[in-house]
Chain A
Amino acid sequence: MSWFTSLFRRSEGNRAAFTGRALVSNGAPVAMVAGRVRARGVPYNLPRDLEEMNRLDFQHYLFRAALKGNFAAPVTQARTILDVGTGTGRWAREMAQLFPQASVVGLDINEPPMDTAKSALPEPIPANYQFQAGNVLEGLPFPDQAFDYVHMRLLVSAIPHDRWPRVVQELVRVTASGGWVESVEPTLPAEGGPVAEQLMDWIRAISSRRGVVIGDAAHVGELLTSVGLKNVATQTIKIPCGAWGGRVGKMMVADYFAGVRAIRGVVVAQGLATEEQFDATLNKALRDIDSRQYRCAMPVHIAIGQR
């Protein structure tokens, strides 16, 4: 009997430790918390249900449009590509199609729903794409220098402030000599007016309770430099959020406020606002942003570096 089996025998009778009934979804522990299915054991506050998967797919298309492509690093001949925090796997599968000679791995704590329902897919999953379960916070399950290109996007709300250096070290560890690391992380939308700022304060507060600092997104380039990468370059692109930004601005409102609605239950459960206060604030912020009185935008911080 391994020590691992022994461990659980000795732990018999343990109870679920967190609010909400413990469940398992696609191999990852989840719980119904504040009305939505959420991952357990990680600081990520957003849900992990089908509604959120649809939002993440929409967000992928939004980012691809706003950033004018799927990547910024000068990768042309990558043979191995890793997407850390792959979410729905949309980015990784598109990269597998774009780089048919490459082996593309999407890593996350649970398998994207599309991967578990392959027969129902209207689109084929590329043969050169595969999913790997793993939690970047405890290290990547790959040997040193395994990938030519390592990409991580939209994980700022999942990485506590004190874990960022270790996460970046892991990204670099699994990157081959001469290969590239790319990080794409947003900070909170700004210049949406005082009511929108109240929403952002709530997001900061629920993140802070789990050790997450959204502003860390702006400093990944510094971390890439600190671990010795070459040719580090950073760029911040402000994605408009509101009618003033045209099609992309409207997409950004739809995406961002769907995300804000998804954390409503958490904000209420933590006593930061009542449901009525939250809804009134959200509706007022949406009106402000659509009024063209404000020019709200979400900064997206892109950092690349070569090993």
Chain B
Amino acid sequence: MQSLQAYQALLSRQENLAKVWAMRAIIEQSGGRLEFEPPTMNGFVVVTLWLPQHLHPTDFLLEVPFYPV
């Protein structure tokens, strides 16, 4: 099993969450994985994205502020 690099983003805008959600199938087909945590009372959602080492979040989601953790 290939090792995955984790990235996170803190999102509250519906349009950004929708962009991430829309890419879910493509990310999984590429060997990656997405997790969404329940929103906080301020409406923030921690999104974690795991990708194979040769991929980067900007390959899928240019606008979403993922950073490596």
- CB of B65 within 8 A of CB of A3, answer no
The answer to whether A155 has its CB under 8 Å from any CB of chain B is no
Interface readout for B37-69 with A: 1 if CB under 8 Å, 0 if not? 111111110111000000000100000110111
Can you give 12 contacting A-B residue pairs, CB < 8 Å? A3-B18, A7-B17, A11-B35, A14-B36, A16-B37, A17-B6, A28-B10, A40-B46, A133-B44, A135-B11, A135-B65, A138-B11
* Chain A at the B interface: SS class: loop
Interface residues in B, total, Cβ within 8 A: 31
The answer on a CB contact under 8 Å between A18 and B44 is: no
Chain A residues with Cβ below 8 Å from B12 are: 133-135, 138, 141
In the complex, the answer to whether B37 meets A22 with C-beta atoms within 8 Å is yes
- B46–A8 CB distance below 8 A: no
Within the assembled complex, what's the spacing in Å between the Cα atoms of A7 and B22? 11
In the complex, what residue of chain A is closest to B58 when comparing beta carbons?
A162
The distance in angstroms between the C-alpha atoms of A162 and B38, with both chains bound, is 27
Q: Are A43 and B21 in contact (CB under 8 A)?
A: no
Which residue of chain A is the closest to B39 with respect to CB atoms?
A8
CA distance A137 to B66 in the complex (A): 9
Instruction: Determine whether the beta carbon of B9 is less than 8 Å from that of A138.
Output: yes
A133 and B41 CA atoms in complex are apart in Å by 10
Given the complex of chains A and B, what is the CA–CA distance between A288 and B44 in angstroms?
43
Cβ contact within 8 Å between A28 and B36: no
A40→B67 contact, CB < 8 A: no
Residues of A within 8 A of B68 (CB): 209-211
In the bound complex, residues from chain B placing their C-beta under 8 Å from that of A237 are none
Q: A7-B21, A210-B68 are in contact. Are A17 and B44 (CB under 8 A)?
A: no
Cα–Cα distance between A27 and B46 once the two chains are bound (Å): 12
A40 x B42 contact (CB < 8 A): no
* Interface contact A7-B10, CB-CB below 8 Å: no
Q: Which residues of B contact A109 (CB under 8 A)?
A: 10, 42, 44
Q: Is the CB of A160 within 8 A of B21?
A: no
By beta carbon, the residue of chain A nearest B33 is A17
* B residues near A245, Cβ cutoff 8 Å: none
**How far is it, in angstroms, between the C-alpha of A41 and the C-alpha of B44 when the chains are bound?**
9
A7-B67 CB under 8 A given contacts A28-B42, A109-B44: no
B17 touches A29 (CB 8 A): no
Of A3, A41, A134, A141, which one neighbours B46 at CB under 8 angstroms? Answer: A41
Contact of B10 among A11, A40, A160 (CB under 8 A): A40
Contact call B46/A17, Cβ cutoff below 8 A = yes
Given A7-B21, A135-B12, A210-B67, A27-B44 contact (CB < 8 Å): yes
Contact present for B41 and A29 (CB under 8 Å): no
CA–CA, A209 and B21, complex, Å: 26
- Whether B44 contacts A141 by the Cβ 8 Å rule is no
Residue contact B42 to A110, C-beta cutoff 8 Å: yes
The interface residues of chain A lying within 8 Å CB-to-CB of B16 are 138-139
